[in-house]
Amino acid sequence: MPKKKKKNQTLNLYRYPSLCSINPSIHSPYFDFLALSVSPMASQQQLSSIKGAKVLMVGAGGIGCELLKTLALSGFEDIHTIDMDTIEVSNLNRQFLFRKSHVGQSKAKVAREAVLRFRPHISITPYHANVKDACFNVEFFKQFNVVLNGLDNLDARRHVNRLCLAADVPLIESGTTGFLGQVTVHIKGKTECYECQPKPAPKTYPVCTITSTPSKFVHCIVWAKELLFAKLFGDKNQENDLNVRSSDATRQSEHAEDVFERKKEEDIEQYGRRIYDHVFGYNIEVALSNEETWKHRNRPKPIYSRDVLPVELTQQNGNVDKNSVADDPSSVSAMASLGLKNPQDIWSLSENSRIFFEALKLFFVKREKEIGNLTFDKDDQLAVEFVTAAANIRAASFGIPLHSLFEAKGIAGNIVHAVATTNAIIAGLIVIEAIKVLQNDVNSYRMTYCLEHPSRKMLLMPVEPFEPNKSCYVCSETPLLLEVNTYCSKLRDFVEKIVKAKLGMSFPSIMHGSSLLYEVGDDLDEAMITNYAANLDKVLSELPSPVTGGTILTVDDLQQELSCSVTIKHREEFDEEKEPDGMVLSGWTQAPAKEDNNTSANNGESTSNTSQAVSLETMEVNEIQIVPTGAGSVSSGTKRKLSDMSDAADPDHSSVITETSSKEELQELDDDDGDDVVMIDDVNSDGSKKKRLQ
């Protein structure tokens, strides 16, 4: 049967922007997008709510640049913007308000100047600062009608969420990752807060996979970056599992302990060869001696430097002078010394080995002062070169395909290349939601997902917001439960692993009844500081006001005006592999990290005696939380008209309500006529059905 011709799928979302004042001489993908989807004129009412609004924009990066421009062109006249960063060369491809001459300057300030050039009459107030700074307190947030986030990390997003809740200011949250993007609306008491939904945890790998049985290139990257790089150039006092291998034979051996220290009489070539032979040769021999490990796996091959690179060659290796001493240390490059130009080339084992030696040498010759303090940074060329080479040599040993520096950098930095158009679309959607919020058009609020592939011929998927999650400890004050060994765990563990890492508090205070066990602040006197420092080193049960099973602690963050009640449950034992913190917090909303099948299979068989997990997380991307990447991923979709869902229905929508349960059914529905939207059903983390905002 021939398919019926489709109607244009414009959504009623786009009746909102007041973009009659766009300056067409400024080109951005956003305008292309608008040209397709926006109705021409905003109403007087919309214009007056825009004009009278005072908005705060947090983040002036990829999304922020687009957003500031779009706000200005949409008629907003009082915009405040906070960004803690300065402009980098790598920002220029998409953060179009910035030019090469601006590199090194404040993003917030330069963005303001750029926008004032085409909207000179409006007020833009820039803050070159961290949004977590104490000056951005609840009082500061209260002055705004709406807050718009264009951030790139969970920590800052959670902080802004809490301040918006405390100040009772609507928050529009956003994020992009490559072609994917999302805009969500958070209104206290009406919709979910940013933290009502579980957030995916950073991906972690069991240490045994990383140290003993890698099966993917990413395992080699994690090893090179988190273990080898950290051991050679990072803080020497930090615990590191590099010496712990699958064989007991080498545990605690002198050989293993001394190997990373450069000996006095040793020149840099000798040192490099010793490290190389130890980690790629000797360690592999030791691992091979444990037959059990290799029963069901491919045996790795030890690699020694003399076999790959004759001694004469390392001595002639590279031309350090190509990196002149006056050079900026951050531009020192082993590739440059060796004349390797294309980062997309896959180097041979011998080339990787030459890069390994050269990068090591350059660190010692050109960047010696930094040794001992370095952590891997994806923007540090020499670090990326070293990590790529080391990961490739390890990959060669384990029969894993080698990768180019470009690919290795992407994996090591968790990089998903930013797409300017996605940022532009998302910025447009933020403004659309902001206008609805300013008009208090509650029934029209939408969370909108920008998809990579069209679903039902739509790249944008609007979803009605959900009601607040009643078990969210941030917006619903639900008590939390902490299982912990109160005789072993110290207050410091609780503060670092739970209060800061899990609860995301910046200025915490911890009370047991009326007794204050810990607090942070500028106004503490000496005696208090000493007292709290002493408490941090005490186990919970030995605190001045002992914390044992049944204790209820009140944990507050003064800046975020967040208060949580944590009930303590004493537990003796923890599974080191699954519960590496030695404590388990329940009643909070972090989703477990996605399982890596390959890794977990190896993990079970591993003979390693280590138990922690190594995280591949240097860059927090603009994380996408719920990504309905097409109908296939929607387990239970309900297709219905907006008019059936809310009073503010777009009259263009005709009535269709159909429950679907499979991908096929959804595709069937795709043949229907009409401007439908797919509604996605979801459940709360506690299993209860979530309620949509009515």
Q: How far apart are the C-alpha atoms of 112 and 296, rounded to whole Å?
A: 61
Residue with tokens 């297709």: 639
Q: Which residue is nearest to Zn ion (CB)?
A: 472
User: Secondary structure of 546-567 in the HEC alphabet?
Assistant: CCCCCCEEEEEECCCCEEEEEE
574-to-312, 335, 430, 571, 582 alpha-carbon distances in Å: 53, 46, 44, 8, 6
Q: What's the number of CA atoms in the CB half-sphere (13 Å) around residue 635?
A: 4
Q: Phi and psi (nearest 5°) for 123?
A: -105, 120
- Amino acid found at 251: R
Pairing of strands 204-206, 613-615: antiparallel
What kind and span of H or E run contains 257? helix 254-258
Kindly state the smallest distance separating residue 430's Cβ from Zn ion, in Å.
20
Q: Examine residue 402 and tell whether it contacts Zn ion (CB under 5 A).
A: no
Q: How far apart are the C-alpha atoms of 626 and 646, rounded to whole Å?
A: 22
Based on CB atoms, which residue is closest to Zn ion, 161 or 293?
161
Q: Examine residue 631 and tell whether it contacts Zn ion (CB under 5 A).
A: no
| Cβ neighbours of residue 171 closer than 8 Å, sequence gap 6 or more | 146, 147, 148, 149, 160, 161, 164, 185, 186, 187, 193, 194
Q: Examine residue 187 and tell whether it contacts Zn ion (CB under 5 A).
A: no
Residue with tokens 């980690």: 279
Q: Examine residue 413 and tell whether it contacts ligand ATP (CB under 6 A).
A: no
Considering only residues 551 to 570 of the shown chain, the ones binding ligand ATP according to CB under 6 A are: none
Based on CB atoms, which residue is closest to ligand ATP, 151 or 334?
151
Determine which residue in the list 49, 91, 161, 293 makes contact with ligand ATP, applying CB under 6 A: 91
Kindly state the smallest distance separating residue 135's Cβ from ligand ATP, in Å.
12
Residue 84 binding result from ligand ATP, Zn ion, none, given CB thresholds of 5 to 8 Å by partner type? ligand ATP
Residue 474 binding result from Zn ion, ligand ATP, none, given CB thresholds of 5 to 8 Å by partner type? Zn ion
Residue 193 binding result from ligand ATP, Zn ion, none, given CB thresholds of 5 to 8 Å by partner type? Zn ion
Q: Examine residue 475 and tell whether it contacts ligand ATP (CB under 6 A).
A: no
Considering only residues 41 to 80 of the shown chain, the ones binding ligand ATP according to CB under 6 A are: 59-62, 64
Q: Which stretch binds Zn ion (CB under 5 A): 30-38, 148-156, 474-482, 624-632?
A: 474-482
Q: Which stretch binds ligand ATP (CB under 6 A): 36-44, 125-133, 647-655, 670-678?
A: 125-133
Q: Which residues are catalytic?
A: 208
Kindly state the smallest distance separating residue 160's Cβ from ligand ATP, in Å.
8
Structure tokens at 580: 């590496």
Q: Examine residue 85 and tell whether it contacts ligand ATP (CB under 6 A).
A: yes
Kindly state the smallest distance separating residue 624's Cβ from ligand ATP, in Å.
13
Q: Examine residue 90 and tell whether it contacts ligand ATP (CB under 6 A).
A: yes
Beta strand spans in 417-472 (E): 447-455, 458-463
Considering only residues 601 to 640 of the shown chain, the ones binding ligand ATP according to CB under 6 A are: 622
Q: Examine residue 84 and tell whether it contacts ligand ATP (CB under 6 A).
A: yes
Kindly state the smallest distance separating residue 14's Cβ from ligand ATP, in Å.
25
Q: Phi and psi (nearest 5°) for 592?
A: -65, 155
Kindly state the smallest distance separating residue 637's Cβ from Zn ion, in Å.
25
| Cβ neighbours of residue 394 closer than 8 Å, sequence gap 6 or more | 214, 220, 223, 224, 279, 280, 400
Q: Examine residue 472 and tell whether it contacts Zn ion (CB under 5 A).
A: yes
Q: Examine residue 269 and tell whether it contacts ligand ATP (CB under 6 A).
A: no
Beta strand spans in 571-663 (E): 583-586, 590-591, 613-615, 637-640, 658-659
Kindly state the smallest distance separating residue 136's Cβ from ligand ATP, in Å.
9
**Contact by Cβ (8 Å): 412, 389:** no
427-to-60, 420, 432 alpha-carbon distances in Å: 11, 11, 9
Determine which residue in the list 105, 130, 443, 609 makes contact with ligand ATP, applying CB under 6 A: 130
Based on CB atoms, which residue is closest to Zn ion, 11 or 475?
475
Q: Examine residue 474 and tell whether it contacts Zn ion (CB under 5 A).
A: yes
| Cβ neighbours of residue 629 closer than 8 Å, sequence gap 6 or more | 180, 451, 452, 453, 455
Q: Examine residue 151 and tell whether it contacts ligand ATP (CB under 6 A).
A: yes
Q: How far apart are the C-alpha atoms of 554 and 557, rounded to whole Å?
A: 10
Q: Examine residue 82 and tell whether it contacts ligand ATP (CB under 6 A).
A: yes
Residue 196 binding result from Zn ion, ligand ATP, none, given CB thresholds of 5 to 8 Å by partner type? Zn ion
Window 199-218: contact mask with ligand ATP (x via CB under 6 A):
--------------------
Considering only residues 113 to 172 of the shown chain, the ones binding Zn ion according to CB under 5 A are: none
Determine which residue in the list 10, 48, 153, 563 makes contact with ligand ATP, applying CB under 6 A: 153
**Contact by Cβ (8 Å): 473, 197:** no
Among 65, 59, 253, CA closest to 149: 59
Determine which residue in the list 60, 131, 193, 232 makes contact with Zn ion, applying CB under 5 A: 193
Kindly state the smallest distance separating residue 113's Cβ from ligand ATP, in Å.
16
Contacts with Zn ion by CB under 5 A lie at 193, 195-196, 472, 474-475
